[in-house]
């Protein structure tokens, strides 16, 4: 069989549990059929996903992908949608919007010529944000506000802009500023946040905020509290689970009371008690790590843009998913057997045996070649059968306990510990019994 058969566990508990590998879908470049890079996401009221792509704007309705091109087929780096369905896009040395007509078709309109010629060298627009009827196009040195056919330019060098509770905040090296009545005003608590060395901010429960620092500390900020009680430590991330990266580090609050944190380590998920419930290391995602900010859709799924791929993580799914891109190596494999021993899971493919102990991916244990019969647990032992014989798993090592080839099935005798009968493809039934610490195989034992 050419393609990998997907291994899926169905969990009865819909909450994320420790050790569960989240189900995600990977849309490769030959699936969405557009440019290399995927940079930003948005979703309209009908559930359509829009992605800023190096060839234009991708659209996805849950079944098929489409592509909208700007006039000059510009590299689209960021986007935002208004209630009318217009798509505002930022590019390299270009910004504008796609206007939707009554037939649902889009026409691109450039806004660059509305700027004075001396200001038209806008560079790379890395964020496009909608606040009410105002559109903010941003590069690292300036913010361009578009409203009612006109632009206003704010020469603010900043680190990142955040849309929080439909308000615009600007994080700079001098603190945090908030957009109010046409101006950016330093918030009263901005200097306190500067001392924390903030990397990312997100909305949280009950009008609170989540703050993520460059050192991996997660704080909860409550502006309604007294100054000394406004900021409280929620979680200090252990070093192996967090690696600051100025381009991708981000914190999000998902509506299922789960916090997601993306960093150079990968993606981790934390519950409301501060416990790390799940993580996906970046190597398992099978792509160059995200170019885009994380995006949460209406169904609480997490979207990430990569080079050559788009990934949708289903945070509410009861399914657990593993394939060659997230834990079973890079070769095409067919999964033939699945087994469990206490809290450890085993996956048998046509090439290798994998196990999952304390990690969310499956380290390779060794070759057994065609686990035709399966993986069993008899007498508190893990027994495996395959084309190369019968094996016992001891301390993560495969021990051949019978050399008889092409074993297809096996069972244990209830009243005789360490005694099994197995059948082969071409030599019939055999008895396998442990005697004096050694395994003995006999043919036609009943005669």
pLDDT tens-digit map of 349-380? 776 777 765 555 566 666 666 565 788 988 88
Instruction: Say what the pLDDT of residue 193 is.
Output: 74
How does the average pLDDT of the chain come out, rounded? 84
pLDDT tens-digit map of 100-117? 888 888 999 999 999 999
Instruction: Say what the pLDDT of residue 394 is.
Output: 84
Q: 361: burial class by Cβ within 10 Å (0-12, 13-18, 19+)?
A: middle
Q: Are 274 and 287 in contact (CB under 8 A)?
A: no
pLDDT tens-digit map of 378-399? 888 889 888 889 999 888 788 8
Dist. CA 246–CA 213, nearest whole Å: 11
pLDDT band at 12 (very low <50, low <70, confident <90, very high): very low
pLDDT tens-digit map of 144-171? 999 999 999 999 998 889 999 999 999 8
Q: Which residues pair with 167 in a beta bridge?
A: 164
- For residue 192, the surrounding DSSP H or E stretch is helix 190-196
- Percent pLDDT > 90 in the chain is 49
The angle at the Cα of 170, spanning 165 to 171, to the nearest 5 degrees, equals 115
pLDDT tens-digit map of 303-335? 999 888 999 988 877 666 565 544 555 455 677
């Amino acid at each position: 069989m050419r393609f990998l058969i997907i291994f899926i566990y169905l969990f009865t508990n819909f909450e994320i549990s420790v050790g569960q590998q989240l189900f995600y879908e990977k849309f490769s470049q030959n699936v969405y059929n557009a440019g290399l890079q995927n940079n930003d996401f948005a979703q309209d009221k009908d559930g359509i996903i829009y992605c800023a792509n190096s060839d234009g704007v991708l659209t996805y309705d849950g079944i098929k992908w489409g592509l909208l091109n700007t006039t000059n087929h510009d590299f689209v780096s960021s986007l935002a949608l208004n209630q009318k369905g217009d798509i505002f896009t930022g590019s390299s040395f270009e910004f504008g919007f796609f206007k939707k007509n009554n037939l649902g078709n889009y026409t691109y309109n450039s806004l660059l010529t509305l700027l004075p010629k001396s200001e038209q060298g806008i560079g790379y627009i890395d964020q496009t944000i909608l606040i009410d009827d105002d559109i903010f196009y941003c590069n690292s040195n300036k913010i361009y506000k578009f409203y009612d056919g006109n632009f206003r330019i704010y020469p603010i060098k900043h680190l990142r802009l955040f849309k929080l509770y439909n308000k615009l905040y600007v994080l700079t090296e001098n603190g945090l500023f908030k957009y109010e009545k046409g101006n950016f005003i330093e918030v009263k608590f901005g200097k306190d946040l500067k001392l924390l060395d903030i990397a990312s901010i997100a909305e949280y429960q009950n009008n609170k905020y989540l703050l993520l620092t460059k050192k991996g500390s997660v704080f909860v900020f409550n502006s309604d509290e007294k100054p000394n009680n406004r900021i409280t430590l929620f979680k200090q991330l252990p070093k192996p689970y967090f690696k600051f990266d100025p381009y991708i580090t981000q914190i999000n609050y998902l509506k299922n009371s789960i916090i997601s944190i993306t960093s150079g380590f990968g993606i981790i998920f934390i519950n409301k008690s501060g416990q790390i419930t799940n993580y996906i290391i970046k190597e398992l995602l099978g792509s160059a790590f995200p170019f885009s900010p994380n995006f949460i859709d209406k169904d609480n799924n997490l979207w990430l843009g990569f080079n050559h791929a788009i990934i949708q993580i289903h945070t509410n799914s009861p399914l657990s998913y593993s394939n060659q891109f997230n834990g079973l190596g890079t070769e095409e494999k067919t999964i033939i057997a699945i087994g469990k021993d206490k809290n450890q899971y085993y996956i048998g493919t046509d090439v290798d045996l994998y196990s999952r102990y304390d990690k969310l991916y499956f380290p390779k244990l060794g070759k057994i070649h065609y686990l035709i019969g399966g993986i069993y647990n008899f007498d508190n032992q893990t027994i495996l059968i395959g084309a190369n014989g019968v094996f016992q798993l001891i301390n993560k090592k495969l021990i051949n306990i019978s050399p008889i080839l092409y074993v297809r099935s096996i069972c244990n005798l209830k009243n005789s510990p360490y005694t099994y009968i197995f059948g082969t493809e071409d030599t019939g039934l055999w008895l396998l019994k442990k005697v004096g610490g050694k395994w003995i195989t006999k043919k036609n034992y009943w005669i």
